[in-house]
Amino acid sequence: MRIMDLLTDAREEPVSDLDPDVGLSRAARVRVLLAAALGPLVTGYAAVATALTLVALTADRTVFSGTGVLLAAAPGWLAAHQVQLGFGGHPLGVLPLLPTLGAALLAARTAAGAAQRLGCRSVREALPVLLTITGAHAGFGLAIALGTRGSAVSANPLAAFAVPGLLAAVAASAGLTRSCGLPDFVADRLDPLALRGLRAGALGFAVLVACGAVVFTVATAVSWATVSDIYEPAFGASFGLFLLSVLYLPNAVAAALSFVTGPGFSIGDLNVGMFGYRGGAVPGVPLLGGLPEHHAAWWPALLVLPAAAGALVGWSLRKVDADPAQRIRAVAVAGAVVALGCVLLGTLAGGRLGDGPFDPVSVPVGVASVVAFCWIVIPGSFVAFFTGEHEPPAPPPEALEDNEAFEDADEVDVEEAAEAIEELESSEENEPDEEPGEDASLSRESDADEEAELSRESDAEPDEAVTRGTETCGDVEPDETDR
């Protein structure tokens, strides 16, 4: 039983709780960092070489060469990391986004795994992992650019050094967030209302991307006859076109997103917008089979999709604060996040396409970002304002201080008045009783004198009346009395 307990404890102990200086030796840490540096490079290079091998094996009238595939995989690795290539002096900047997403995901998972094995619990402890992965990608890109100088496919050494390093740094930072507590580190230093706005902005951007994907899928399905005609009868050529369309699928979704929000996109002379259309030649790729041939009057009805995305953002922020102004501020933060996402996606989706009639492929990044911001902020603010609580805004701190001082002054005045009344009552109660007694006795004596005088006057009046009567009768003569 003791052995089973020890084994159970060993299994349940998380690797991230180990002290990196005690749990792993210096040699073990070096091996982990070396694996983190070389793992994404080898895996990404092998994926590019595998795709080129499939294309070479299925293509008609081609001779397969392992050495040629390995050499061609080097520029392909740069293209997967969004490094512009040159084919005999003709630039190729429209690079597929699907391999870029795969490379970023690979770097993120590698960084997270290395941090877990090293027991990193903070951003400072994970800094060697971040620097190792970033430096490995930047150095490998520079080595490829220097090695391909003078060949048919080349790249700028500075771009080959900076772009893969930057991409790896961003992806590795995203992978280290959970293992090193970076979200808590950011949340503690960020306004909670702004944090909710960031989350709502990510939701709104995901909804807009989903709207673009739906519009692209429906357009392709409606034009499936045109799409199927682009494929060639030979399996090798059809497989190559299919693989090319899959790799550029995120680019098409980004263009559809710009179309749904209003600005649209352009391929050479072709310009497709919500309120305008200019025709032009397009490459013969099944991915572009759903492009319209003319403007349709019902296209503006699609604007309900970005409006619904903005309303959804506002609905998600309706309870963040009782003050409507604060809710609108959170919606503005979400709109800024969506605008930044549109800038990044539109920049990566377009670029140079040789020097022919299809050059360049572009999305109006500036206009698209401003329009996307408005689609989030205007409907979102309306929904957040009218569906949330409505309470009067809190007074400024100066007004609160004045109010508190006024209340304190009132309380002091009332207390002083009460104390004064109590003192007055107590003083009246404590006065001597002699003076009130003397006043009462004097009043009683005066009342008694007045009553005595009145009684004497009443007694004297009948006697005086009788006397006056007798005197009168004595003066009258007898005869007159008899009569």
Q: Is residue 438 part of a domain?
A: no
pTM reported for the whole predicted model: 0.76
Task: Please give the pLDDT value at position 13.
Answer: 39
- What is the end-to-end Cα distance of the chain in Å, rounded? 159
Together in a domain, 375 and 238: yes
CA–CA gap between residue 142 and residue 150 (Å, rounded)? 15
Q: Is residue 259 part of a domain?
A: yes
Q: Is residue 405 part of a domain?
A: no
Together in a domain, 247 and 374: yes
Task: Please give the pLDDT value at position 464.
Answer: 47
Asked if 173 contacts 130 with a C-beta cutoff of 8 angstroms, the reply is yes
CA–CA gap between residue 115 and residue 121 (Å, rounded)? 8
> Of 157, 188, 219, which residue constitutes the final position of a domain?
188
Together in a domain, 184 and 282: no
Q: Is residue 369 part of a domain?
A: yes
Q: Under 8 Å CB-to-CB from 315, ≥6 apart: which residues?
A: 383, 384, 387
Together in a domain, 168 and 228: no
Q: Is residue 428 part of a domain?
A: no
Q: Is residue 234 part of a domain?
A: yes
Together in a domain, 223 and 370: yes
> Of 143, 162, 188, which residue constitutes the final position of a domain?
188
Together in a domain, 283 and 181: no
Instruction: Copy the structure tokens of residue 395.
Output: 């007074």
- The answer to whether the Cα torsion of 195, 201, 207, 209 is positive or negative is negative
DSSP 69-106: HHHHHHHHHHHHTT--EEETTEEE----HHHHHHHHHH
Together in a domain, 223 and 319: yes
* Residues paired with 278 in a beta bridge: 271
Domain that holds residue 276: 192-387
What domain count does the chain have?
Answer: 2
Residues 283, 284, 285: CA angle, nearest 5 degrees: 95
Together in a domain, 183 and 200: no
For every one of its 483 residues, what pLDDT tens digit does the chain have, with 9 covering 90 and above? 343 343 334 333 344 444 444 557 889 999 999 999 999 999 999 999 999 998 888 877 777 788 888 999 999 999 999 999 998 889 999 999 999 999 999 999 999 999 999 988 877 888 999 999 999 999 999 999 999 888 889 999 999 999 999 999 999 999 988 777 666 666 677 788 888 999 999 999 999 999 999 999 999 999 999 898 888 777 777 888 999 999 999 999 999 999 999 999 999 999 999 998 998 889 989 999 999 989 999 999 999 999 999 999 999 999 999 899 999 999 999 999 999 999 999 999 999 998 888 989 999 999 999 999 999 999 999 999 999 877 655 555 555 555 555 455 444 455 566 676 677 666 655 555 444 444 444 445 555 555 555 555 455 444 444 444 444 444 444 444 343
Together in a domain, 230 and 326: yes
Together in a domain, 149 and 265: no
Together in a domain, 288 and 375: yes
DSSP 15: G
CA–CA gap between residue 160 and residue 76 (Å, rounded)? 12
Together in a domain, 178 and 261: no
Q: Is residue 227 part of a domain?
A: yes
> Of 188, 210, 229, which residue constitutes the final position of a domain?
188
DSSP 285: -
Q: Is residue 417 part of a domain?
A: no
Q: Under 8 Å CB-to-CB from 254, ≥6 apart: which residues?
A: 97, 212, 345, 346, 348, 349, 363
CA–CA gap between residue 236 and residue 179 (Å, rounded)? 45
DSSP 211-273: HHHHHHHHHHHHTHHHHHHHS-SSHHHHHHHHHHHHHTHHHHHHHHHHHHHS--EEETTEEE-
